[in-house]
Amino acid sequence: MKLLFVSDKFDFSPHSAIDSIFNKYLKKYIHVDIVYFSKKNTFEKKENKFLIPYKDRKKIYTYIDLKDYNIVIVRNFFDVLNSLLKLSRNFKVGFQLSFPHSYRRYYQAKVEKKAIIRKSLEYFLKEKIEKRLIYKTDFFLPISEYMINEFFNDIKTPYFILPLGIDPEYVLQKKLIIDEQLKFLYIGTIDKLREFDKLLDVLKEFQKDNWILDIYSSTNLQIDKKLQNKIFQKGYIKRSELLNKINEYDVGIFVLPNVTLYKVASPTKVMEYYQAGIPSLMSNIPECVELFDDNSGFIVNFDKDDLKNSIKKILSMDKLSLINMGYRGQNILLKKRNYKIISKELFDFLKDLV
């Protein structure tokens, strides 16, 4: 069996799930090649990876002989999927959806109260087109069960939930550091939809306590003067440095509104925090509630009172207790979200389709 995975990534850029599943563990059962894209007008092949000009994404078959493959999987690009479904083919076509990008634009319009009618019409039209394409595939790889329930509850196409997880070969154990200062960490996007200001407002109430928060994000925040000696913006961090950097902190933060946009997702940063051995302060979205409990993390409603109570609890805990929480959460993911196990289950699913 040979599989071609058409990613949505550029210039061979790393991605934990793609690297661990498709370029590592799945290769133990099946030959896998991976497509990346480039904004340059060049074609390149490096081992089992292809780099194709993005402008030619709908004509992948002009660069790669698709007849060599039993399975072709497209990640997130509906126009690429559409081009493949139009071909006369002897291979199975699957589609992976990692996030409801079309719904996000519609949701953003509602939150910002801008162009709501136009964005609503665009979304409902696009949703019909995208669902029709997914239902024409041979199989579907959504990122969560909640995504199926919310957007594809009438699906007849065979599907396999392909969530985010952790790589057992790269888990880190947190070392006990004798330091009274508690170090919070936030990594990732900060935008209006995530309502990050709510967390900052709560943190003002703890300005006299002994803690800091480092933020690794390309977004530049306006920090209140009361928190300027508490919150530090570090900018972007390379993925190659990520786990070791996370391991230096005590608690990772992942808090955002409990709305459909985020309920359907799989929380990337939560997985990375636990892979690096630290517990997370996280919103009560379905995946977090399904995986963790009070012994392995801090699950909060996205309101100021609950955030305040959870932060107060964290600040009252000793560092060894926090390390043990991170260890318990890490073990949960090794059992339930282990990329090595997920890859074998994915292979079994694909094998039955071919």
Residue 57: which residues within 8 A CB-CB, separation 6 or more? 37, 77, 79, 80
- The stretch 100-108 carries a mean pLDDT of 77
Calculate what percentage of the chain has a pLDDT beyond 90: 77
- Residue 70 token pair: 């039993």
Contacts by residues 283-289 (CB-CB < 8 Å, ≥ 24 positions apart): 283/254, 283/255, 283/256, 283/257, 283/258, 284/258, 285/256, 285/258, 286/144, 286/145, 286/146, 287/144, 287/146, 287/163, 288/254
- The stretch 129-153 carries a mean pLDDT of 95
pLDDT level of residue 55 (50, 70, 90 thresholds): very high
Mean pLDDT of the residues in the chain: 93
Instruction: Quote the pLDDT of residue 296.
Output: 98
pLDDT level of residue 115 (50, 70, 90 thresholds): confident
Q: How many helices and strands in the chain, by DSSP H and E?
A: 13, 13
- The stretch 36-45 carries a mean pLDDT of 94
| Length of the chain as a residue count | 354
Residue 77 φ/ψ, nearest 5 degrees: -85, 105
pLDDT level of residue 22 (50, 70, 90 thresholds): very high
- The stretch 252-264 carries a mean pLDDT of 88
CB atoms within 10 A of CB 83: 16
Domains and their CATH numbers in the chain: 2-165+338-353 (3.40.50.2000), 168-336 (3.40.50.2000)
Whether residue 9 contacts residue 18, with contact meaning beta carbons closer than 8 Å, is answered with yes
The answer on pLDDT for 108 being more than 90 is no
The answer on pLDDT for 301 being more than 80 is yes
Any idea which of 51-60, 93-102, 162-171 has the lowest mean pLDDT? 93-102
For 278-292, write each residue's pLDDT tens digit.
999 999 999 999 999
- Per DSSP, the three-state class of 239 is helix
- The stretch 313-326 carries a mean pLDDT of 96
Calculate what percentage of the chain has a pLDDT beyond 70: 100
Instruction: Quote the pLDDT of residue 263.
Output: 84
Q: What angle do the packed helices 196-203 and 304-316 form, to 10 degrees?
A: 50
The answer on pLDDT for 228 being more than 90 is no
Q: Which residue has the higher pLDDT, 63 or 123?
A: 63
Q: Which residue has the higher pLDDT, 118 or 38?
A: 38
Q: Which residue has the higher pLDDT, 113 or 321?
A: 321
Q: Which residues pair with 213 in a beta bridge?
A: 184, 231
The b-or-e profile of 120-134 (16+ CB within 10 A means b, else e) is eeebeebeeebeebb
CB-count exposure of residue 7 (10 Å: 0-12, 13-18, 19+): buried
The b-or-e profile of 309-348 (16+ CB within 10 A means b, else e) is ebbeebeebebeebbbbbbbbbebbbeebbbbebbeebbe
pTM passes above 0.85: yes
CA atoms of 205 and 208, how far apart (whole Å): 8
pLDDT level of residue 102 (50, 70, 90 thresholds): confident
Whether residue 226 contacts residue 207, with contact meaning beta carbons closer than 8 Å, is answered with yes
Q: Which residues pair with 347 in a beta bridge?
A: none
The answer on pLDDT for 191 being more than 90 is no
CA atoms of 143 and 161, how far apart (whole Å): 6
The b-or-e profile of 211-243 (16+ CB within 10 A means b, else e) is bebbbbbeeeeebeeebeebbeeeeeeeeeebb
pLDDT level of residue 340 (50, 70, 90 thresholds): very high
- Residue 250 token pair: 């005590």
